[in-house]
Structure 1
Amino acid sequence: MRPISILSALLAVANAHMQLHYPAPFNSSNNPYLGDCNADPYLQYPYDCCGPNDRWTYPCRGYISLLGTPQGEPTATWQAGSTQKYLLRGIGNHYGGSCQVGFSVDKGETFQVATSYEGNCPHRNNGDGPDGQDFPFTIPADMPTGVQVFAWIWYNREQEFNMNCAAVEITAAADPSGVYHGSPAAQASASSSSVAVAYHDRPEMLVADDGNGCLTPHTTAELKYPLPGPDVVMGDGVYPLVLPNGTCDAIGQQAYQGETGEDGH
């Protein structure tokens, strides 16, 4: 193996990551609607690493354009208000981090938070999935029906950003009132909220470590979200939780801290 090939292999291992496995994301090898397209082998790598691009396109690595095409068919059908699970898999869980999942109902213009996982996401002691890397969450009960975009964003402790997206079909809630009381996972967490929050009133998902001047904690801490939304699943406490710093939507962050206290919850 040539020296440059050895270096490339070492860099790939150093940046080995996880990716969304279920629902199958756009252009993934397990997406049944991939067709004749080549699967993206870099879905588990951060946005500034590896592949043909110096930096992958936000959002959804540029694959939002597949919506409405045969390759963009939904890979899951979920009822609004129901509890579901998403699965992760890859070749390195980086011993945790923090994750958010949410939805876009406007073809990727905005992404509202469904659930925030502060620490131990992916599960640091459960291997590289998908067994043991399943995460329950609740679909907001007033989610608009139809084909929407489900998004998973992960921040490890290396200030790296990764985002995978999948098309999902949302069906009408069984409870027409649309009242939301938090997922079972969040209800079991000390920070969970039982206050009903409409989908469109939820905060947008955090975007950091993407060359935008907003940086998550490095090495010694896991991310605490400045605007986590009503449904928060706390980690195992192995690492302290620290807010991001830099130009991270400072107005929203300051307003949130001012209303709820210095720790952001």
Structure 2
Amino acid sequence: MPSFFQAATLLALAATVVQGHMEMSFPPPLRSKFNSLATTKDNDMTAPLSPSGANYPCKGYLSDLGTPGGQSVVTFTPGQKSNMTIVGGAAHNGGSCQASLSYDKGKTFTVIQSIIGDCPVNGGSSFDFTIPDDAPAGDAVFAWSWSNKVGNAEFYMNCASVTIGGTKNKIRGMPRPRAAVAYSARPAMFVSNVGNGCKTENMVVDYPNPGPDVTRNGQATAPSCDGGAGKGPVGGGGGNGGGNGGGNGGGSGKPSAAPGGGNGGGAAPSAAPSSPAAAPPATTPATKPIAAPTSAAPTKATSSAGSGNGAPSVPGGVFITASPGGSNSAAPTAAPAPSPTTSRVADGTAAPTVPAQPAAPTGSPAPAPAPAPGTGTGGGSAGQLSGKCSDEGAYNCIGGSSFQRCASGSWSVPISMAPGTTCTAGQSSTLSITKRRFRRGGARRADTAWERSE
């Protein structure tokens, strides 16, 4: 018969197990006991993500989005100050946390607040954040992520379905004030210890790119990696790409039964181009992404991902330099003969001048370059892209009204520009933004342009 001391010890251990690690209680996460809308409850919400990354992101619960259990639990207003509440009994001496938003169902996460040190704390506490003034309106996923200070090399993540809506202090007919740092220029979430090649252990992580909104508590250590691919396990795989309109097939996702499932996003020329633009060599990727020419926009930009790498179907969005596995080449368009183009790179230097190819004889169309196997779906200079990409962190402006970003080797879904702003169509290492300004009475003033890069 066990003694009283043994029984008390067992009860204490049981209480520790029940308390577990830490979890987010507000906003209430998907499948959480704190979420009254959840149709399925996770009794182990405090557990870290799998070291293999099999349940990254959000413990694999983003499949609930669009179902009754995945309905929005709270609405945040741009500019609104709010908080997230973290509870539990095993804070591992704290560590570092981030609050992030995703508008593409977990493919990419944008950081809105970083807390470096003392996050979380035993017993629970709340951490403040502010929704960026220019955060796009619509359905979103709010994520709390945690890199623990002591213990095993782990990564914790809880996610809630939320809505970003309304505006703060908006005068009728006037756009809301522009944020000091554009939402599109904010960094991606730091990810480690989920089979993505980035490991952090026994440290307070000093995020390499915490973003403009940071709370620092004590000393921290810079990790030896920049956040990993952010897409769970690193996998290989490739497909025989084939796309029309100048796109390269073989996008991301699980291998498909038939090779070459990718469609190029570029516009197929309706007539034989008299002098197609020069195609860059596929075997020599640039050290930094170079802006794509914007002389002609495609007439239509539709694409679908083909067979490709073995990453999970819902990858994350940490921007790092990926291996040169593919490129998105612009399709030839029926346009006047191009002149040599000098493109701007991220560090402000000029890229080498690219001379145009000689014009093809009249009446005999020049052959389009064959798509390289295993690369992502391509697109025109100002069209929507999808599938794999190699210029991590590069932007693609679509018609001036929305943009995408190359994140974790794949193009994100389009994100609308902030009201009163436009971007310069095409692919670039920076997002060139133009702000439209108006005098009273509707008279237009000169536009103001600036660029954002990381």
Q: TM-score range by the shorter chain?
A: 0.7 to 0.9
Cα-to-partner distance string for 1:23-53 (whole Å, 9 max, x where unaligned)? 0000001111113x2x10121111138xxxx
Would you say 1:25 and 2:29 are equivalent positions? yes
Give yes or no for the alignment of 1:108 onto 2:106: yes
- The runs of 5 or more residues in structure 2 that have no matched partner are 1-9, 230-287, 289-318, 322-346, 348-454
State the TM-score, normalizing by the size of structure 2.
Answer: 0.44
Match of 1:41 in 2: 43
Q: Over residues 106-138 of structure 1, what are the superposed CA-to-partner deviations in whole Å (9 max), with x where a residue is unaligned? A: 111100000000101013xxx322xxx101100
**Partner in structure 1 of residue 123 of structure 2:** 128
Distance 2:38 2:320 in 1: 39
The Cα offsets for residues 51-85 of structure 1, whole Å up to 9 and x where unpaired, read as: xxx75511111111111111011111111111001
What is the letter of the counterpart of residue 93 of structure 1? A
The 1:197/1:21 distance shift into structure 2, 3 A limit, reads same
Q: Which residue of 1 aligns with 2:161?
A: 167
Q: Please report how far the alpha carbon of residue 179 of structure 1 lies from its aligned counterpart in structure 2 after TM superposition.
A: 2.9
1:87 aligns with 2:66: no
Residue 243 (str. 1) matches residue 225 (str. 2): no
Q: Which one-letter code corresponds to 1:198 in the other structure?
A: A
If asked which structure has higher relative contact order (CA below 8 Å, sep 6+), I would say 1
Instruction: Describe the SS at the equivalent of 2:63.
Output: helix
Matched residue of 1:28: which SS? coil
Paired residue type of 2:176: S
- The answer on whether the counterparts of 1:102 and 1:205 sit within 8 Å (CA) in structure 2 is yes
Alpha-carbon distance, 1:227 to partner: 0.9
Any conservation in 2 of the 1:103–1:112 contact (CA below 8 Å)? yes
Q: 2:76 aligns to what?
A: 78
Change (3 A) 1:97 1:164: same
* Paired-residue identity, %: 40
- What do residues 131-157 of structure 1 show as CA deviations (whole Å, max 9, x unaligned)? xx1011000111111221000000112
State the Cα distance separating 1:15 from its structure 2 match: 10
Once residues 224 and 117 of structure 1 are traced to their aligned partners in structure 2, the CA distance between those partners, rounded to angstroms, is 9
Give 1 or 2: higher helix fraction: 1
Helix, strand or coil for the counterpart of 2:61?
A: helix
Contact 1:88 1:134 in 2 (8 A): yes
Coordinate RMSD, CA, aligned: 2.7
State the partner residue of 2:212. 230
Equivalent residue of 2:59, what SS? helix
Instruction: Please identify which structure carries the higher strand content.
Output: 1
